[in-house]
Amino acid sequence: MKFVAIDLQNDFISKGGIWYQNYPCVDFIKNDLIPYFSKTNHELSQIISDYELPRMNGSCSYCIPNTWGYNSIVPKQIIKGETWIKATRSPNWVRNKNGLHPIIRPDLFTKWLVDNIGDPNSKEPVILMGVSLDCCVLCVAQEMYFRGYNINFLYEGVDFSFQKSIIKDNFIHEFVSVWGKVVYWQEIKEFILQKK
């Protein structure tokens, strides 16, 4: 079982962040998941965003490297390997080396996945979490699904942009099921205990 956290950056999830909303999943990730991972020596892979300008369809700059808003809340000691930095909602787009316009490099994302998550042919469950379910989390899920990964969405670890529970429930159980399965935190903990 592999875990991937997406966009747990201050500009999205901390008070003072440019796109801050009081997502319920953030309290769960901060108060339950991260302490549990730290205590049990589990790791997760991380994907974050660099949304500085210039970028396609962008008029606002945020999650700018070397700023507070760019920083992730995930402690470094539980991050597995290198963090993937995407330049758009799709993880296939990255900054070129001189920091100008994003370029599409699905080959690099595929390499990162294999190095950090493993071979998709193993069909090992990949558990996604982060904000927001209907945007960046979904884009990452789709790209991983197309590469053959066994995608799972951690119910307590994702939220819908508009934060209405009925919308989240409908979206995650009806639309998202095209791309993966919904799993719950209790199931995850039971699975981890069985593996010990």
In CATH, the architecture of 2-195 is 3-Layer(aba) Sandwich (3.40)
The rounded mean pLDDT for the chain is 91
Amino acid sitting at position 75: P
CA atoms within 13 A on the CB side of 169: 3
Q: What is the SS3 assignment for 193? A: helix
> What pLDDT score does 171 carry?
82
Burial of 26 by CB count in 10 Å (0-12 exposed, 13-18 middle, 19+ buried)? buried
pLDDT of 28 higher than 90: yes
pLDDT band of residue 165 (cuts 50, 70, 90) is low
- The more confidently predicted of residues 19 and 196 is 19
User: Residue 162 has what pLDDT?
Assistant: 67
Domain boundaries, the chain: 2-195
Contact present, 17 and 10 (Cβ < 8 Å) = yes
Angstrom CA distances, 98 to 57, 102, 104, 162, stand at 20, 10, 15, 35
Cα distances (angstroms) measured from residue 195 to each of 37, 40, 127, 167, 192: 15, 12, 16, 34, 5
Cβ atoms within 10 Å, residue 169: 13
DSSP state of 85: E
